[in-house]
Amino acid sequence: MVFTALLALGLGQFDAERLATIEREQAKETAAVQAKYGNKKSTELSRDERAQMIRDLNAAEAKVLDKYGMSQREWARAQINRTREQADAVKQASKDQEAREKAAAEQAAKAQKDEGREVVVQKGFSDESPVVLEEKEGAVPVVEQGLPKDYENDQAAASEQDSLEKSADAPASKATGGKSGKR
């Protein structure tokens, strides 16, 4: 019994990614069938609707299993014979797949958003089209004329530094008055 389940999983190797993919596709198909019946509880459906829904659910599950070359019997055995570690591995693989799908969807949405935006290529600069070095999205570009404001502060600090260096380099003046210095 275990041998058949292991063969179904691919030559005796446990493949969490494959099982997670099958489970996710089955969940999507099940959700589609339930949506077809208005997402009602089975007790809210008539006897005929309930029977048809069960047939549709079985057909959806069989379609997914056929896609991956697995019979319903092999699938059931694989589900029953899973160890706790294997079940955890399948759950983690499913979360990883979901994260990859979400990232791909976000990237596709961003690419679609950027696709409509016009890109201006500019060579050199002029007063009509200044070069913008840093710009935040949606911000109005700031064009400064003349020297930057920090330039004045830098120049004042530099001139102070120069005056301090000159005064330190100058020889000390002799003090006059008082006593003569021989003893």
Domain positions in the chain: 2-101
Q: Cα 96 from chain centroid? A: 12
State the pLDDT at residue 113.
76
Assess whether pLDDT exceeds 70 at residue 135: no
Higher local confidence (pLDDT), 93 or 125? 93
Could you tell me where the DSSP H helices lie in the chain? 2-8, 16-36, 47-67, 72-80, 84-115, 149-169
State the pLDDT at residue 11.
38
The token pair that represents 63 in the structure block = 């379609």
Q: How far is CA 15 from CA 72, 83, 102, 181, in A?
A: 17, 13, 22, 99
The token pair that represents 64 in the structure block = 């997914």
Say what the pTM is: 0.52
Across the range 170-176, mean pLDDT stands at: 58
* Least confident span in 32-46, 56-70, 121-135: 121-135
Across the range 126-141, mean pLDDT stands at: 68
Q: Look at residue 28 and give its three-state secondary structure.
A: helix
Q: How far apart are CA 22 and CA 26, in angstroms?
A: 6
